[in-house]
Amino acid sequence: MRKSLIAIAAAAALLLSGCAGGNGDPSPGGPPAASEVDRDARLSIGTLSTPATWDAAKNVGGPEPAMLRLVYDTLIEVDENNELVGGAAESWTTEDGGVSYILTLRDDIAFTDGAPLNAEAVKANLDRALTLEDGTLRASLGNVASVDATDEFTVTITQKVPDVTLPVLLTDRAGMVMAPSSFASGEVTRPVGSGEYVWVAESPGVSVTLDRNPDYRDADHVLLAGVDIRAMEDPVARLNAIRTKAVDMTFVGPEQVDEAKALPGISSFDVKGRSLRVIYVNKDLEPAFGDPDVRMALNKAIDREGIANGVLFGAAEPAYQLRPEGGAGFSEAFDSAITYDPEGARELLQKAGYGEGLSFNFVTQPRFQKEAEAIQASYSAIGVDMTIEILPGAGAGTALWYDKTASIGMANFDGRLDIGLAYQTFFVEGTAYNPSNILDEDLIAMIGTQAGLVDPAERQRMHDDMATLIATSPLGAWPVVWGYEPVLYTDEVVGVKPFQTGFPALKGVGKSQ
């Protein structure tokens, strides 16, 4: 039993392994010596926003779970090498090929309200996430049939069909363990967890103050006295903030990378796989998009290299699959039929009967205006007339996925925690991100199968096939470019590890004397 446990754990770990992406200048490896660190120092960080809600079961994800992880433990964690390691659960195993997972919890964790983090608490959290009326995790946990506290510190999660991505889900909101007292009344007004930091105060949308959690299970490893979060929506503002050392650590976008890396006394590493620019199409609103030749033509007309180098100043890479180079699940052996070929695109359009031209309205977020303009010019060159509509806020997403008023547009994709989940998000039937259900039966079958493949090599091969498929005949979601998001920190900050899960990831971070 032990052997298979280790094997499974290793396999699961390998599931997400792979180099952590070519990084900038990460801090020298290894945790800083205790003597180097000022344990009374606070870290001030600039983030995109403050969490709209600290309730893990209602949080909408994106950049926010990273902040929630500062105050909550997750059952499983991801380290800087994208490997799964134990969090609140010290180990996990599946004995039935991924149908059910047995998690063994640590026995030494307590919430800041004194209650123990045990199987009952975990079950309470998961049951709530599964049943909460306005919960946001119900879809992603849709495959969970039941959660049982089989022992004081043992939890068994049983799924409906085999799915090896469950452990990965438990590294995010689904695996966050909130103190049951904090949601006893229904609403979580202030977060109570067992994480490295404790929530102290907050000005919504502006700032959050966190202090070190003195009862944290590995208290010695928390090197900061506290974290002060400042919300700055504009990456220019964040760059200015770190330039003037108003914050110690922050992240910026591709436009700021050159300058950021040239700043004296500032180090950085790139987070590569959290911002994919994706084009979504809806064939019900524009029948042309129902034609595979048209879809391929529109893909071939895009100069992905040009966008990566020109619009995003090289802090980006062209995307033909759902992972950046070096990311977990990236297919090395990969043949993309999509190349930058305006002539070929024009021919395909002709063949499909749109030689006279095609026109449509393209929606996107303000963030991607430049990418949209570049695409507009490329399409204009092959006789496709595109008007751009910049919709602020959640407008573009709403128009594409919910109201379904836009036939084509570009929105952000954060990569999802596992490549299989990414495929699921885009290509199965009925998902919001596939608003007109452009489907490929083979792909759907493969998505189903890969969820149950325990052997990582076998799973990767299937992912290779899937990557080839979507690059040979594009469906309803087309990857365009990955924009890098460099994390910047001053030279006073030590112990920084190049976590790829998003910003902020502060395990092991401290400030020098």
Partner 1 sequence: MSAITKTEVIATLAGSRPTRGRFVQRFRRQPIAVGALGFLLLVSAMALLAPWLIPHDPYQQDLARVLQTPSGEHLLGTDELGRDVFSRLIMGARVSLLAALQGTTLAIAIGLPLGLVAGYVRGRVDGAIMIVTDALMALPALVLAMAIVAIWGPSLTNAMVAIGIVTAPRALRLVRSSVLQIREETFIEAARSIGTRSIVIVLRHVLPNVVAPLIVFTAILAGTVMLMEAGLSFLGLGVQPPESSWGAMLGTSFRYISRAPLLAIYPGLAIALTVLALNLVGDGIRESIGKKLQK
Partner 2 sequence: MLAIFAPRLIRTAAVFVLVTVGIFGLTALLPGDPALALAGENPTPELIASIREQLGLDRPLYEQYFGWLLALFSGDLGTSLYFGVPVGELIIARLPVTLSLTLVAVVISIVLGLAGGMVAAARRGTIVDRLATVLSTIGIATPNFWFGMIFIIVFAFGLGWFPAVGYAPLADGVGPWLAHLILPATALALAGAAELMRQTRSSMTDTLGQDYIRTARAQGLRPAAIYWRRALRNASIPLVTVVAFQVALLLGGVVIVEKIFGLPGLGSLVIDAVFSKDLPVVQGVVLVNAIIVLSLNLLTDFLYTLLNPKVRHG
Chain positions contacting partner 2, by CB under 8 A: 52-53, 58, 60-61, 133-134, 136, 139-140, 203-207, 230-234, 237, 240-241, 243-244, 246, 392-395, 398, 402-403, 431-432
- In the complex, what is the shortest distance from the CB of residue 311 to partner 1, in angstroms, rounded to a whole number? 7
CA distances from 382 to 64, 290, 354, 399 (A): 40, 19, 11, 26
Tokens 């200048």 sit on residue: 25
Other C-beta atoms closer than 10 Å to the C-beta of 161 total 11
Which span sits near partner 1 by CB under 8 A: 148-156, 343-351, 363-371, 406-414?
363-371
Residue 203 contact, options partner 1, partner 2, none, Cβ 5-8 Å cut-off depending on partner type = partner 2
Rounded CA gap, 398 and 178, in Å?
30
> Which of 388/469 has CB closer to partner 1?
388
Q: Smallest distance from the beta carbon of 246 to partner 2, in angstroms?
A: 5
Query: Applying CB under 8 A, does 454 fall inside the site for partner 1?
Result: no
Residues contacting 391, CB < 8 A, separation 6+: 363, 364, 365, 398, 399
Partner interacting with residue 214 (select from partner 1, partner 2, none; CB below 5-8 Å by kind): none
Selection from partner 2, partner 1, none that 204 binds (CB < 5 to 8 A by kind) is: partner 2
Q: Which of residues 298-337 bind partner 1 (CB under 8 A)?
A: 303, 306-307, 309-311, 313
Of 357, 349, 370, the closest CA to residue 480 belongs to 370
Q: Which two tokens stand for residue 324?
A: 């950046």
Among partner 1, partner 2, none, residue 67 binds (CB under 5-8 Å by kind): none
147 binds partner 1 (CB under 8 A): no
What distance in Å separates the CA atoms of residue 374 and residue 338, rounded to the nearest whole number? 18
**Binding status of residue 392 toward partner 1 by CB under 8 A:** yes
Q: From start to end of 247-349, where are the E strands?
A: 249-251, 266-271, 276-281, 316-318
Best CA proximity match to 269, nearest among 26, 18, 19: 26
Question: Per-residue x/- mask for partner 1, residues 57 to 76, rule CB under 8 A?
Answer: --------------------
Residue 307 binding target from partner 1, partner 2, none, CB below 5 to 8 Å by type:
partner 1
Neighbours of 18 (CB within 10 A): 18
Considering beta carbons, is residue 81 or 313 the nearer one to partner 1? 313
Partner whose footprint covers residue 53, from partner 1, partner 2, none (CB < 5 to 8 Å by kind) = partner 2
Question: Could you tell me how many residues make up the chain?
Answer: 513
Residue (204 or 310) nearer to partner 1, CB: 310
Q: Which long-range contacts (CB under 8 A, 24 or more apart) does 206-210 make?
A: 206/50, 206/230, 206/231, 207/50, 207/231, 208/50, 208/51, 208/67, 210/70, 210/71
Rank residues 239 and 338 by Cβ distance to partner 2 and give the closer one. 239
Max alpha carbon distance in the chain (Å)? 72
Buried/exposed 280-298: b ≥16 CB within 10 Å, e otherwise: bbbbebbebbebbbbbbbb
Least spacing, CB of residue 264 vs partner 1, in Å: 14
What's the rounded Cα separation, in Å, for the pair 32 and 39?
Answer: 12
Give which of partner 2, partner 1, none residue 259 binds (C-beta under 5 to 8 Å, depending on kind): partner 1
Residue 398 binds partner 1, judged by CB under 8 A:
no
**Shortest Cβ 266–partner 1 spacing (Å):** 14
Establish if 370 lies at the interface with partner 1 (CB under 8 A): yes
One-letter amino acid of 212 = R
The footprint of partner 1 (CB under 8 A) covers: 236, 239-240, 255, 258-259, 303, 306-307, 309-311, 313, 366, 369-370, 372-374, 376-377, 380, 387-392
